[in-house]
Structure 1
Amino acid sequence: MITVLSELGKQVAGRWVALLVLPGACYVITVTVAVLLGQRHALDPGVLTAWLDTVAVAPASGRFGTVLIAAAAFTAASAATGLAASAAAQLVERVWWASGEEPVLRALAASRRGRWERAEADVSAALEAFTASGGTPQTARALRAAIVRRDAICPEPASRPTWIGDRLYCVDERVHTTYHLDLTAAWPRLWLLVPDAARAELADARAGISASARLTGWGLMYLPLAALWWPAAVLGLGVLITARHRARLSVGVQADLVEATVDLYGRDLVVQLGIDCTGRLGREAGEAATTLLRKDRTDQSRFTG
């Protein structure tokens, strides 16, 4: 047991250092550079060299106690900024998953809905042109391009303020449309049925989303430093662009995995609930499972439309 606890402690410590201390150390160093250089000497390494020389020859720099206190303060500051970035990541995820009821987010959701509707109109026009021309290669390419542009916004009608929220919500809509199954109610039970390999894939995808949110949090923290040192804006924007790319990849993978999990194991869930389901999972069995899983007296009519 002591060996297990020791190994667990090493893993936790290593994860703590990787997630909080090292990125926090980079941030603290960037803050120091921003304060020392400022806007006037933003790209002048001579200022940093002069400061380091001053610190090196200072009498206190040769004292072990001073060095120890400085190292402890640096580590504490790095950990504190890491915790701040984690808090920012939680806020980022809340915005990603938001339904769009708040005034600002409602405007973003309306904007995305309008973009999707215009893209859908382009698809309809391209389809009409394809049909009228008898399916020429040119109209076929135009139709495919229109579909790609529409699906880049959302595979289903957009209703959320962010691409990430729409991409995950459309999985729920597709599952409901196909099986009449409430994914929110079914997922905890479905999670208990899937094999360990499937859980590991889903957990990795979810971890990728969390990592992208933390990276976004760091990017947002770098941007205010541009008021002191303009290169921080370039650094922050680069981090945010990378985080956006990683988040979309991770969310796309998770959405596909969740939908695949329902397709492969949804029938097993229905059977485990004691509902008769011969052959593939159908809407009648999915509706019965939804009624059983929700365990409330709310109107179930939305699951029969």
Structure 2
Amino acid sequence: MAALRVVVLSAGGRALLAPKTIPVPKANMSFATLPRNKKVALTTLGVVTAGGVGLALMLHQSVKASDLELHPPQYPWSHAGPLSSLDHASIRRGYQVYKQVCSACHSMDYLAFRNLVGVSHTEAEVKAIAEEVEVVDGPDESGEMFTRPGKLSDYFPKPYPNPEAARAANNGALPPDLSYIVNARHGGEDYVFSLLTGYCDPPAGVTVREGLYYNPYFPGQAIGMAPPIYNEVLEYDDGTPATMSQVAKDVCTFLRWAAEPEHDQRKRMGLKMLMGSAILIPLIYYMKRHRWSVLKSRKIAYRPPK
């Protein structure tokens, strides 16, 4: 009897531990069984979604390049790495290129002289550069406007007083502002470098009207800007040979810094975050194992009543 009682209790315990099957009604739902208004709503949603995705892809391809437009190659920039900083000597030379070559037509409305301090020039050098510019200020006590030497707080001077004067001086073409030109063009500095060094004669069968120049990297291949740089277009203050590729590289580095002045600080903060994570993640993992080891390693055993 005792053995029989143990068998019965064991069987009862297994019966208690055995999962009970609960009947669940199966959902028999398909598109054909939906009401008419829901069918119309789902169909409209699908068409709108597919059309939006297709339109986005077409716009991306149209902005990226046309059939005749040449894609700029990817150049090995020294600042392209995830932890690489900008070449500040190149930024200094790039500002010299902008000042002596580009500033005759292109403005940089969002860059002030003070932004150069500690990046490419010392404070005394930037003050001397700013004082070379005559800035219209006022009115004074008599209500008249006057000119004064530039200060650190002044922005870069504009080559033209208004867009209409800029168009009139460039055969109807408006030179773009260069403050964020690297971020505003597909390809970034690769595009700007290729554009500056990509002037060539048009191929056979292609004619360019008078006043325009052929450049395969420019949309439409006909650009109103004459070739701005060439070998020995200027003389660098530090003695670097001013070849066409060197001049283009320096001004592209300067424009990258102008469009993203927080470039070095952003990567420095990313490096600090990685170093901090390398310390915190193992500690958090150890605490997780320490706190949850009791719950994760426990064993639940059923002991039937005697």
| TM-score of the aligned structures, taking structure 2 as reference length | 0.21
More helix by share: 1
| TM-score of the aligned structures, taking structure 1 as reference length | 0.21
Greater Rg, structure 1 or structure 2?
Answer: 2
